Amino acid sequence: MANVYLFTGFPGFITTALIKRLVQQDYNAGQINLLVLPSMAPQAREEVTRIARAENIGADKFHILTGDITMPGLGLDPAENARLKDAVTHVFHLAAIYDLATPEAVAYQVNVNGTREVNQWVLTLNNLKRYVYFSTAYVSGTREGRILETDLDQGQAFKNHYEATKFEAEKSARGLLDKVPTTIIRPGIVVGDSRTGETSKFDGPYFILNLFERLKWLPLLPYFGSGQAEANFVPVDYVVNATLYLAHADAGAGNTYHLTDPKPHIIREAYALMMAELLGQQPFGMLPLAAAQAALAIPALRRWLGVEKEALDYFTCQSYYDCAQAQRDLAGSGVQCPDLKDYVKPLIRFYQQHKDDPDKQVTGKFS
């Protein structure tokens, strides 16, 4: 029988990319159920139509469900819930608040309470083959040094509410490891597709491109701090291909995976690569990180630059994300993480083509 899927987080960037790849590959995919907030249903229908046309498949392969992950039973219609209870074989839970500057209450309600409700719902399914929970490598918080895939609660502090609430959510998801076949995915910082550069939003490392774009009139641009921390960027196509493989492989059940770059560049190197590609120049000198943080404490300046001040916290936290388990279980799959230097050109090209698109730029977050 065909697999029946349920995804949360649609039409978000990674969820949409997962679904596109799922229908392209041979995973015996039957119906794909998409749980969305009622307010997101029109956008979800438009995205489903685009995917169906692009992949030359019928839109009836997709079933849009309106609900809310923070509600008991996910806020689903009782008749739909009864149908899904026996039908669903794979659940991918990606719905979350990803903004580094999100208020604590909002992040907790969606990331923690929402995940608890999804976990409870998953336990009611009769034919579940795999539950895939999307965490983040940065549940490590302020820990430095080598971070193992088996590590979680080490008494760490956190740089922001995003990290803290994803940590709590992963603890909740790990409670299912001995109850249902569960795979926990911890990506690094997800960037655009390594072939096309396509991404949905210019956040994360794209804030640095915004800064370059705003200050390109200067004759010289400095490094921000020493930049010795790792720039653990991973292209979305690597994350998607690795996730789908591990979600269907027997080895994936019961494991947590760092989908991180096994040979990451340090921030100083990544910064120089991006500047060279965007502006055709190299950084000169160094602005102390404390000075940059002080400047970004001014709301008007961060709005003008298009940079979240919280992003600078990742310039100093020297964590190494061990991904040995992921590399072992992906061996022979053909799925490998490319080097940033090999895909920086399409990333920058896509940014240059869409930098003035207000739907790509993250607005309203720099107040």
Task: For residue range 283-334, list pLDDT tens digits in order.
Answer: 999 988 888 888 888 888 888 888 877 777 888 889 999 999 999 999 999 9
Mean pLDDT for the chain overall: 94
pTM of the model: 0.95
pLDDT of residue 62: 97
Average pLDDT estimate for 172-183: 97
- Three-state DSSP at 82 gives helix
The number of beta carbons lying within 10 Å of the beta carbon of residue 164 is 20
As assigned by CATH, the class of the 3-190+233-259 domain is: alpha beta
- Three-state DSSP at 271 gives helix
Average pLDDT estimate for 192-200: 96
The whole-angstrom separation of Cα 277 and Cα 273 is 6
Average pLDDT estimate for 211-227: 90
Whether pLDDT at 367 is above 80: no
Whether pLDDT at 24 is above 70: yes
Specify the residue for token string 């976990």: 119
Specify the residue for token string 């009836």: 60
pLDDT of residue 363: 55
Give the confidence band of 100 by pLDDT, cuts at 50, 70, 90: confident
Residue 251's Cβ-count burial label (10 Å; 0-12, 13-18, 19+) is: middle
- Three-state DSSP at 357 gives coil
Q: Give residue limits of the domains in the chain.
A: 3-190+233-259, 196-232+264-319+338-354
The answer to which of 172-176, 232-236, 300-304, 353-357 has the lowest mean pLDDT is 300-304
pLDDT of residue 242: 98
Rounded percentage of the chain residues whose pLDDT exceeds 70: 99
Whether pLDDT at 94 is above 50: yes
Residue from 55, 343, 348, 20 nearest 195 by CA: 343
Average pLDDT estimate for 111-131: 98
Give the confidence band of 366 by pLDDT, cuts at 50, 70, 90: very low
DSSP per-residue codes, 15-70:
HHHHHHHHHHS-S-EEEEEEEE-GGGHHHHHHHHHHHHHHHT--GGGEEEEE--TT
Give the confidence band of 165 by pLDDT, cuts at 50, 70, 90: very high
In which element (H, E) is residue 93 found? strand 90-93
Average pLDDT estimate for 229-236: 94
pLDDT of residue 364: 46
Whether pLDDT at 215 is above 70: yes
